[in-house]
Amino acid sequence: MTASLPFINNYSQPFLLFDDLPDSYTMHPFAPFALTDALIKEAGRKQQPILHFWQTPPLVVLGMMDTKLPYFKEALPFLEQQGYAYMVRNSGGLAVVGDEGVLNFSVFFPEEEDRLPIDDAYTRMHAIVQAAFLDYTPPILAYEVENSYCPGDFDLSIAGRKIAGISQRRIKGGIAVMIYLSVNGNQRSRAELVRDFYAAGLKNAGSRWSFPSIDPECMTTLEDAFKIPLTISDVKKRLLAVFRQQGIAVTSGSVSSSISRDYKEGMEKMTKRNQRLLP
Active site positions, annotated:
150
User: Of 84, 112, 247, 222, nearest to 163 (Cα)?
Assistant: 222
Three-state DSSP class for residue 1: coil
Half-sphere exposure of 140 (CA within 13 A, CB side): 28
CA torsion, ordered 157, 221, 175, 261, to nearest 10 deg: 170
Sequential DSSP letters for 24-91: GGTSSTTHHHHHHHHHHHHHHHHT--EEEEE--SSEEEE-GGGGGSTTHHHHHHHHHHTT-EEEE-SS
Q: How far apart are CA 161 and CA 173, in angstroms?
A: 35
The DSSP bridge partners found for residue 279 are: none
Q: How far apart are CA 55 and CA 26, in angstroms?
A: 8
Q: How far apart are CA 52 and CA 59, in angstroms?
A: 19
Q: How far apart are CA 213 and CA 12, in angstroms?
A: 45
Q: How far apart are CA 169 and CA 175, in angstroms?
A: 6
Question: Which distant-in-sequence residues (6+ apart) come within 8 Å of 50 by Cβ?
Answer: 15, 16, 17, 18, 39, 42, 43, 106, 107, 108, 253
Q: How far apart are CA 18 and CA 151, in angstroms?
A: 28
